[in-house]
Structure 1
Amino acid sequence: MTSSELTVLNLLGSGLSTARIAASLGVTTCAVEACKRGIYRKLGVVSQAHAVARAISLGFFDHHRPLPDSGRTRPEVVVVHARPGACRDRVAETLLACGQSFAVLRDSAGAHWLQWRRGTLAAVLIDPDPGDWQLPARLGAPTLVVCSVPPDLAAVGDAVRHGARALVWREDVPEDLCGMLSLMCRGYFTMTALCLDAFTAGIAAHPPELTARERDVLDSIALGHTIGQTARRLGITAKTVESVQARLFLRLGARTRSEALIISHRLGLVDRSRAEGP
């Protein structure tokens, strides 16, 4: 697969819609759809969930990282969107020290001129509120989140769900910020140790316990089955499958079948040998 296809496949596994993927990558929805068709053709599948299931079976999500693009070693402009304070000052000082061009904006209304600027943009948010995510979405810019207080699983998970591609603890900003921005703009996902610890500790502390029926539905999703196929396979109604699937998503913290597969795979709930289509 091409680096673009691997990147889109990874974002599909995160449960992002076509429109959200397009906004994150700064491309059109038509370009994303074309990339998805290429992925489906190469994997021999016909749906998003089936593509993720086949990718899991092939080991794509075990060690996958988007391939770096040597043409994008650092962003041309970093947009810092945060309220005044010591943490924002630290970010600005660090960007100045490494010679990185940046702009500090209070809200998305002042970002109109950036939409016409050529070159790679990156966004930095500090302890973002829900409304703060409008700016990177409007710019189509990859986003790094700075945590000014020790993060927990909820904070890290919320940032990732909103499309953050990097997370850094405020104490690590002087040492790691510029390097992480460079990695992020080359297609990598990265976070500093404190953020990663919060994420992994939270997962380990709350392992999901699935019922037998939920496991049946999860296995069927991993096989690329539709709701109707799952109902026939299990001898139950489609409405029952939808109800069980909704409970499964709730337990896993997933929003889509693809995201449920990725989370289950990372938690060891999906046997790779069974995550293959017929």
Structure 2
Amino acid sequence: MRPTTRPIRVLVADDHPVVRRGMMALLASLDGVEVVAEAANGEEALREAQLSRPDVVVMDIQMPAMDGIEATRQLAALLPDVAVMVVTMFEDDETVVSAMRAGARGYLLKGAQQEEILTTIRSVAAGQFVMGPAVAASLLGHLDPAPLPVPTVPFPELTAREREVLDRIALGHGNARVAADLALAAKTVSNHLSAIFTKLGVSGRTEAVILAREHGLGGGTPHSGP
């Protein structure tokens, strides 16, 4: 573990000199951070990381000779204790996922505020995984929400009242009891039963009860197979 009494040692890898030096100047101004090396491409980042042994590498994505994702992948294999924090202009999902799969512990967009950069550096140096809010919002915005389960209604060809009648005869209730429970006339219950038998293609009450119980009516267990 990195001693908490010494500053976090950082290597900055970016192919644009102005951007690289700007990041180095910003980091040098932060309390508890020390810039120990710089690199203009992925190959230099690997070499300088092995020489300076930083705690954190601030890594750009698009660089010549070797891009930041490949450099991150090789760094993770060579120096697993070195945390990579990607700072880039690219926020597309594929780039974010590729960087994380390569071993990056943090992902920020260029233009992130000073406090956000410092917080992310401290977090990745401590072994945490951090994704800047702008990146997280972009990634979450492209994720499809999990579809909600659609409740299945047994015998959708029946009306709600017909299902109520079928449920009660599946419980073993006679027509008179069904009529009383549902506040219907006995003739109306008989008419509902005739319609139920026709719609379900059954010959009579017994077959209707068996079928109803197979589908969970009358307290039965729904039948899951053919």
| Length-normalised TM-score, structure 1 | 0.42
Given that 1:78 and 1:124 are in contact with CA atoms closer than 8 Å, whether structure 2 keeps it comes out as yes
What residue in structure 1 maps to residue 214 of structure 2? Answer: none
1:94 counterpart (20, 26, 42): 26
CA distance in 1, matches of 2:123, 2:50: 26
Q: CA deviation at 1:76?
A: 3.4
Aligned length: 134
Given that 2:70 and 2:102 are in contact with CA atoms closer than 8 Å, whether structure 1 keeps it comes out as no
Q: CA deviation at 1:86?
A: 4.1
Given that 2:10 and 2:55 are in contact with CA atoms closer than 8 Å, whether structure 1 keeps it comes out as yes
Equivalent residue runs for 1:127-276 within 5 Å = 127-128=61-62, 129=67, 130-133=69-72, 134-135=74-75, 137-140=77-80, 141-149=82-90, 151-204=91-144
What residue in structure 2 maps to residue 50 of structure 1? Answer: none
Q: CA deviation at 1:93?
A: 1.9
Q: Which has the higher helix share?
A: 1
Given that 1:77 and 1:101 are in contact with CA atoms closer than 8 Å, whether structure 2 keeps it comes out as yes
CA separation of 1:110/1:193 partners in 2, compared to 1, >3 Å: closer, same or farther? Answer: closer
CA separation of 1:135/1:173 partners in 2, compared to 1, >3 Å: closer, same or farther? Answer: farther
CA distance in 2, matches of 1:78, 1:121: 6
What residue in structure 1 maps to residue 39 of structure 2? Answer: 105
* Residue deviations 1:66-96 (CA, integer Å, cap 9, x gap): xxx8954876311112212443233212111
CA distance in 2, matches of 1:73, 1:148: 33
Q: CA deviation at 1:201?
A: 1.5
CA separation of 1:186/1:112 partners in 2, compared to 1, >3 Å: closer, same or farther? Answer: closer
2:58 counterpart (98, 105, 124): 124
CA distance in 2, matches of 1:82, 1:162: 18
Q: CA deviation at 1:204?
A: 2.4
Aligned residue for 1:199, secondary structure, equals helix
Aligned residue for 1:155, secondary structure, equals helix
What residue in structure 2 maps to residue 35 of structure 1? Answer: none
RMSD: 2.8
Higher Cα radius of gyration: 2
CA distance in 1, matches of 2:107, 2:139: 11
1:81 counterpart (6, 9, 13): 13
2:52 counterpart (107, 111, 114): 114
- Report runs of 4+ in structure 1 exceeding 4 Å deviation: 69-75
CA distance in 2, matches of 1:136, 1:114: 16
* Residue deviations 1:2-60 (CA, integer Å, cap 9, x gap): xxxxxxxxxxxxxxxxxxxxxxxxxxxxxxxxxxxxxxxxxxxxxxxxxxxxxxxxxxx
Counterpart code for 1:202 = H
Given that 1:146 and 1:169 are in contact with CA atoms closer than 8 Å, whether structure 2 keeps it comes out as yes
Given that 1:124 and 1:144 are in contact with CA atoms closer than 8 Å, whether structure 2 keeps it comes out as yes
